[in-house]
């Protein structure tokens, strides 16, 4: 069993971004800029946004966070996004999800200029991804693809089971895997027999938010398991969607939580923002 070290790989990606930022500054006088919109007081969202801002600073980006109250109107959020769309210092716009109930998330995401959509959530980028065109791709699944590349895991013809069909993880993950010529099954909350699908898979990618969902008897010997879940349990510790202790011994590769996919999400956000700034130049 080999652990996939997301922390080390994220640091490698961040180092690369830092070097490229320096080049952009020297050669084109461009500083990549990221605008983050954070609505409300969800502690997890606050923690993520803080980590994103810190990462931006580390690689030499310009970054601003627009923190808005929980009760903000949809039009005010749209107004801020429109300002960021035309701000020449901003290459990437990110609206931290989830948004409060009174806000129509789909409508908000549609307002972001697809050229600045570094989260890859705009329907335009999703459509481009599905058709195999160059696009901004959601950071977490993109980070998982980077892990496969780094560990030379060949996807062609592999049976991959993606557990969880969210717009920000499962669906883009499945598209990326399909584009890489894997045979992809997507399971979700209404799947009748999850185990029947996972136990046949060469690779399982799980992102559901259900702690310990994937158990030992659901995983084939020698499988590769990628755990996207980050769940805080009653004792305060962080666990994934995989029962790591019992599943890990059966795997050829597995990602830990924490230190697996988590750090890759931020690294790929930096990478996407850099790409946007390079396209501006």
Handedness of CA 199, 147, 227, 270 (dihedral sign): negative
Spatial separation of the C-alpha atoms in residues 271 and 261, rounded to whole Å = 15
- We find the least distance from the C-beta atom of residue 265 to ligand GUN, in angstroms, to be 6
Spatial separation of the C-alpha atoms in residues 209 and 63, rounded to whole Å = 29
Torsion of CA 210, 263, 21, 93, to 10 degrees: 20
Residue among 119, 227, 241, 243 flagged as catalytic: 119
- We find the least distance from the C-beta atom of residue 41 to ligand GUN, in angstroms, to be 15
- We find the least distance from the C-beta atom of residue 34 to ligand GUN, in angstroms, to be 11
| Of residues 9 and 95, the one with the C-beta less far from ligand GUN | 95
| Of residues 30 and 168, the one with the C-beta less far from ligand GUN | 168
| Of residues 158 and 171, the one with the C-beta less far from ligand GUN | 171
| Of residues 94 and 126, the one with the C-beta less far from ligand GUN | 94
Q: Of all residues in this chain, which one has the CB nearest to ligand GUN in the complex?
A: 97
Q: Decide if 119 is catalytic.
A: yes
- We find the least distance from the C-beta atom of residue 52 to ligand GUN, in angstroms, to be 9
Q: Decide if 52 is catalytic.
A: yes
| Of residues 135 and 140, the one with the C-beta less far from ligand GUN | 140
| Of residues 20 and 119, the one with the C-beta less far from ligand GUN | 119
Spatial separation of the C-alpha atoms in residues 23 and 15, rounded to whole Å = 13
Nearest to 121 by CA among 96, 89, 150: 96
By the 10 Å C-beta count (0-12 exposed, 13-18 middle, 19+ buried), 42 is classed as middle
HEC per residue, 9-58: HHHHHHHHHHHHHHHHHHHHCCCCEEEEEEECCCHHHHHHHHHHHHHHHH
Residue among 5, 91, 96, 227 flagged as catalytic: 96
Residue among 5, 52, 116, 241 flagged as catalytic: 52
By the 10 Å C-beta count (0-12 exposed, 13-18 middle, 19+ buried), 46 is classed as middle
- We find the least distance from the C-beta atom of residue 162 to ligand GUN, in angstroms, to be 16
What DSSP letter does each residue of 194-234 carry, written as one string?
A: HHHHHTT-SEEEE-SS-TT-B-GGGS-TT-EEEE---EE-T
Nearest to 264 by CA among 35, 8, 2, 54: 8
- We find the least distance from the C-beta atom of residue 241 to ligand GUN, in angstroms, to be 14
Residue 268 near residue 141, CB atoms below 8 Å:
no
Write out the residues near ligand GUN by the rule CB under 6 A: 94-97, 119, 139-140, 168, 265
Residues involved in catalysis: 52, 96, 119
């Amino acid at each position: 069993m080999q652990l996939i070290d997301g922390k080390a790989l994220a640091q490698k990606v961040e180092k690369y971004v830092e070097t490229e930022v320096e080049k952009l500054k020297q050669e084109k006088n461009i500083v990549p800029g990221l605008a983050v919109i954070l609505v409300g007081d969800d502690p997890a969202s606050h923690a993520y946004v803080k980590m994103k801002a810190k990462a931006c600073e580390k690689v030499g980006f310009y970054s601003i966070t627009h923190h808005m109250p929980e009760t903000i109107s949809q039009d005010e959020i749209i107004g801020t996004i429109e300002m960021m769309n035309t701000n020449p210092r901003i290459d990437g716009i990110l609206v931290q999800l989830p948004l409060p109930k009174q806000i129509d998330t789909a409508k908000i995401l549609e307002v972001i200029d697809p050229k600045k959509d570094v989260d890859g959530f705009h329907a335009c980028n999703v459509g481009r991804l599905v058709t195999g065109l160059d696009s901004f791709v959601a950071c977490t699944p993109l980070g998982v693809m980077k892990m496969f590349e780094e560990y030379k895991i060949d996807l062609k013809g592999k049976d991959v089971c993606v557990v969880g069909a969210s717009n920000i993880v499962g669906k883009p993950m499945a598209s990326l895997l399909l584009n890489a010529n894997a045979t992809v099954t997507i399971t979700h909350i209404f799947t009748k027999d999850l185990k029947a699908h996972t136990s046949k898979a060469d690779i399982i990618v799980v992102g559901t938010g259900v702690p310990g969902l994937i158990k030992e008897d659901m995983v084939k010997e020698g499988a590769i398991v990628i755990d996207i879940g980050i769940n805080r349990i009653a004792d305060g510790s962080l666990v994934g969607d995989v029962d790591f202790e019992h599943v890990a011994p059966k795997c050829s590769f597995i990602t830990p939580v924490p230190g697996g996919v988590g750090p890759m999400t931020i690294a790929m956000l930096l990478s996407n923002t850099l790409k946007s700034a390079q396209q501006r130049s």
